[in-house]
Chain A
Amino acid sequence: MHNHSDIGPFQPASPEHIEKHRHVGLDVSEIEAPGLSVALVGNPNVGKSLVFNYLSGMYVDVSNYPGTTVELIKGHYKAYDIYDTPGVYGISSFTAEEAVARDIVLSADIVLNIVDAVHLERDLFLTQQLIDMGKKIAVILNFMDEVQKLGLRIDTKLLSNYLGVPVFETTATTRTGFDQIDTALLQAHRGEQDPSLHHKLHAMLNVTGSEAEALLVLEGDEATAQRHGVTLGHERESLYIDRRNRVNIVINAVLSETNTRTRLATLFGRLAVNAWTGIPLLFLALYLIYLFVGKLVAQDVVSFTESTVGKNLWEPWIQGIVTRFISPTSWLGTILVGEFGVITMTVTYLLFLLLPLVIAFYLSLALMEDSGYLPRLATLVDRSLNSIGLNGAAIIPLILGFGCVTMATITTRLLGSEREKTIASAILQFAIPCSAQLAVVAALLAGAGFGAILIYSTTIFVVFVAVGTVLDRLLPGATTPLLIDLPPMRLPRLDNVLRKTTYRTYFFMKEATPWFFAGALGVGILQVTGLLTVWQNILAPLTTGWLQLPREAATAFVMGMVRRDFGAAGLYVLALEPHQVVVALVTITLFTPCIASLMVMLKERGWKEALMVWTGTWVVAFFVGGVLSQILI
């Protein structure tokens, strides 16, 4: 099936080339090509992850916003090692994502460049850079269905001639044309390099080892220059502008437009970033999410799963079985099926309270992401976030924080400066309740009435703004300005939304479950050893005096150090007045981040910052909770 004669023109390899350029399809057959590495490279939102998914059978997070692929992801397809890369607009080291993509590209034998056919002008810049790097490339021209709908025409054959690399048309969402990827991998070869650039790069080969790295050095990539101990080139701007001009020539030749009618999705995208229509649309979106997560799932579904299934079916049933062998009043009985029972309370919370809410939340988030709404939201809130030292792009980690603070802290990497990363991760740790915690908060607040909801959200919002404002004043430097590309609005694909929700829920539960059990076990042990009473007594001046809560609330704070949601869950069992509910929830929301996010904080931001935030949350939580209590109760 793979006819070797239709492989495109191939430049004879000089000895220096051999190391880096193994020739697929010429001298290596499919079966005998162990470990040829293929990098999937492209701009954000071009369908890389869908291609990766198709090739490797592995699921990776697919989102209609940048920053989803931060870690290295490797899969296998036939004899190839396939690497997914974060979406980038060019190869360099300005951000963590770019550095990841750069290293994968440098070490790859073949680059499969995924190009959004609708945004050819933007995407071909990267393509041309990959060609200039002297990599072996095949171009996958994706979203061909949208090209037709938009009334565009692309002369693929001509494009292939101009670039000097094979080009294949696909539609990733329906997998149309994916059967050509095999051929693409076999036919990938070096493209049309500017001859003078090629000579320049060749002159550097003995130092850098590959043309790709030589180009990066010329373009002033510090990391690559350091690696080879060479002086940094200063030709970035002239090379970039030459490349841009080259791309413009290609575009003028291959792209023609037959229709300028505005699509409905485009119109909606415009309305979302307009001041008059954008804010009502945002509120509409929030209201729909509230109806779905806050009302339908948090109240109706959870009340069935939690009370009916959990409290009335599961707990009595498992207690019945366990107490046949172990006395319920023994220490083991207390730990297993007692008040904080590892297999009673913990299972109920995890499966019948958390799970439905986490699914609902991730479903809403997936819909927002895949529609392309998030970058528009970032634009809309840009100016407001400026006042707390962030730019609009920070809305992405902040919203993700409502899903899982731990995960969101990792995505603060996509922010422009250390200053912004510090502010965003501090806000996440202080003032953003994660979905699990929100679940419990929502359930408790629903019982306490509308006033309670209002006081709770206002207080948390004030702390949110205060943390941002204080850090913005304290930290030196200035906020980097927003500069993001708005991906086209697209109708989310149901299978992708569902798959993403399942995948994220699974990982969230996988991460949360051991901590829940460990926490329950820990609290159970504290309970049977009497240490819980000691702890409660130590904290008593704070809990009963200052916060005016029952002494047992101290238990929630032990649990809260393990997981915040677990802490909130600990409040569930207490009989609290509505005002006490608000005070307790505010305190536990602002309280220390869970162990997992503390760990991520340590890793991402260093121990100094992590420790400061961790101690800070103690102070702020008890201070704000106390003030609120003095006012309310």
Chain B
Amino acid sequence: MKTIPIPLYQVKRGSRLIIMEIPDGHAKVQLIRLGVVKGEFIRCLERLPGGTIVIQKHRQEIAIGVTLARSILVTYAVSESPSKA
């Protein structure tokens, strides 16, 4: 079971993730509004060359630029029994 936080831009495409840390600022506010907060389960839908990431939370798809994706920390949600926070 891996729990070491890694930056979002390094994750594997298609992987299920748990948000560990979002840096303060406008991006955090916007992400809270879109439902992406610490502890939330997300999926990395796409990882474009250069590091732009598309994540999915339920039916919501969000594109995140590389500089932001570098500062968002996540862990792989390896366990198949997601315990809702």
Contacts and interface: CB of A to CB of B under 8 A. Distances in A.
B45 to A, nearest CB: 7
Instruction: Please report whether the interface of chain A is mostly helix, strand, loop or mixed according to DSSP.
Output: helix
* Most chain B beta-carbon contacts within 10 A, residue among A126, A478, A482, A486: A482
Nearest to B62: A485
Contacts of A89: 30, 33-34
B33 A379 contact: no
Of the listed residues B30, B35, B49, B68, the one surrounded by the most CB atoms of chain A closer than 10 A to its CB is B35
Contact of A382 (B26, B61, B62, B63): B63
A480 B64 CA distance: 11
B31 interface: yes
Contact of B49 (A236, A375, A383, A416): A383
Nearest to A245: B37
Contacts of A122: 33-35, 60
A483 B60 contact: no
Given A89-B33, A125-B35, A483 B46 contact: no
Nearest to A146: B59
Contacts of A483: 27, 30-31, 62-65, 68
B52 interface: yes
Number of chain B interface residues as a range: 20 to 34
A488 B49 CA distance: 23
Contacts of B61: 269, 485-486
Contact of B59 (A125, A150, A384, A416): A150
Contact of B65 (A121, A273, A382): A382
A118 interface: yes
B50 interface: yes
Contacts of A485: 34, 60-63
B15 to A, nearest CB: 15
A241 interface: yes
A481 B68 contact: yes
Contact of B46 (A244, A273, A480): A273
B37 A481 contact: no
Contacts of A379: 46, 48, 52, 54, 63
B59 A118 contact: yes
B67 interface: yes
B35 A484 contact: no
B78 interface: no
A506 B58 CA distance: 41
A60 to B, nearest CB: 24
B33 A380 contact: no
Given A383-B49, A486-B62, A121 B67 contact: no
A486 B63 contact: yes
B51 A383 contact: yes
Interface string A207-230: 000000000000000000000000
A89 B29 CA distance: 10
B48 A275 contact: yes
Interface in B5-61: 26-35, 37, 45-46, 48-52, 54, 57-61
Contacts of B35: 121-122, 125, 244, 247-248
Interface in A454-503: 478-486, 488
Contacts of A527: none
B58 to A, nearest CB: 6
Contacts of A248: 35
Contacts of A237: 28-29, 32
Contacts of B37: 241, 244
A89 B26 CA distance: 13
Given A89-B30, A383-B49, A386-B50, A391 B59 contact: no
Contacts of B46: 270, 273-274, 379
Given A236-B29, A379-B52, A383-B52, A481 B66 contact: yes
A392 B65 contact: yes
Nearest to B57: A121
Contact of A479 (B49, B51, B52, B67): B67
Interface residues of A, number: 45
A480 to B, nearest CB: 8
Contacts of A384: 50
A401 interface: no
A199 interface: no
A481 B67 contact: yes
Contacts of A442: none
Contacts of B52: 379, 382-383, 392, 482
A482 B55 CA distance: 13
A8 B59 CA distance: 32
A240 B33 contact: yes
Residue among A94, A240, A247, A479 having the largest count of chain B Cβ atoms under 10 Å:
A240
Contacts of A236: 29
Given A90-B33, A244-B35, A392-B52, A484 B66 contact: no
Given A118-B59, A392-B52, A241 B32 contact: yes
A94 B29 CA distance: 10
B29 to A, nearest CB: 7
Given A240-B33, A486-B62, A94 B26 contact: yes
A482 B63 contact: yes
A200 interface: no
A240 B32 contact: yes
A375 B63 contact: yes
Contacts of B65: 382, 386, 391-392, 480-483
A234 interface: no
A240 B28 CA distance: 10
Contacts of A479: 67
B54 A273 contact: yes
A378 interface: yes
A157 interface: no
B12 to A, nearest CB: 15
Interface of B: 26-35, 37, 45-46, 48-52, 54, 57-69
19 contacts: A94-B30, A118-B59, A119-B60, A121-B60, A125-B35, A237-B29, A244-B32, A244-B33, A273-B48, A375-B63, A379-B63, A382-B52, A382-B66, A383-B52, A416-B26, A479-B67, A482-B65, A485-B62, A488-B59
The 8 A-B residue pairs with the shortest CB-CB distance in the complex, in nearest-first order: A383-B50, A482-B65, A481-B65, A481-B68, A379-B63, A486-B61, A89-B33, A481-B67
Given A121-B35, A486-B54, 4 more contacts: A94-B26, A379-B63, A386-B65, A416-B26
